């Protein structure tokens, strides 16, 4: 199993829009992708530097191959592009292999 971690920040005023978009758009696109084992939206408890809300998305995949295939799916690509319009910080992307 692999985990893809996507971290960024949004303005507090955009947080509700981001959550709604995540539930209505991002979750269905990713969970429809073969090999996606789950997706979660996370956020920091308090605003960070500049009043931005830091947070991210954790996506669990059955394999790196499934993840790479899904990330080229038009529905997944489009859902990510819509979310990026709300981001106030360049996203950090990391992929981890679950070893235990």
pTM for the model stands at 0.90
**Interval 9-29 mean pLDDT:** 94
Of 84, 70, 63, 7, the residue nearest 40 (C-alpha) = 7
**Interval 49-61 mean pLDDT:** 93
Beta bridge partners of 60: 3, 38
Q: What is the pLDDT of residue 50?
A: 83
Range of the domain at 14: 2-97
Contact 62, 35 (CB under 8 A): yes
Rounded Cα distance between 45 and 69, Å, is 33
For residue 38, give the CATH number of its domain.
Answer: 3.30.70.100
Q: For the chain, what is the domain count? A: 1
Please determine, for residue 94, whether its predicted confidence score (pLDDT) is greater than 80.
yes
Contact 87, 6 (CB under 8 A): no
Q: What is the pLDDT of residue 28?
A: 96
List phi, psi (to 5°) of 63: -160, 160
pLDDT digits (tens, 9 = 90+) for 25-53: 999 999 999 999 999 999 998 877 788 99
């Amino acid at each position: 199993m692999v985990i893809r971690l996507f971290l960024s920040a949004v303005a507090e005023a955009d947080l509700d829009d981001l959550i709604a978009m995540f539930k209505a758009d991002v979750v269905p696109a990713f969970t429809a992708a073969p090999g996606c084992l789950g997706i979660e939206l996370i956020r920091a408890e308090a605003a960070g530097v500049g009043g931005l809300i830091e947070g991210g998305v954790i996506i669990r995949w059955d394999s790196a191959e499934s993840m790479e295939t899904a990330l080229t799916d038009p529905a997944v690509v489009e859902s990510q592009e819509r979310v990026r319009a709300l981001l106030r910080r360049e996203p950090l992307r990391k992929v981890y292999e679950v070893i235990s």
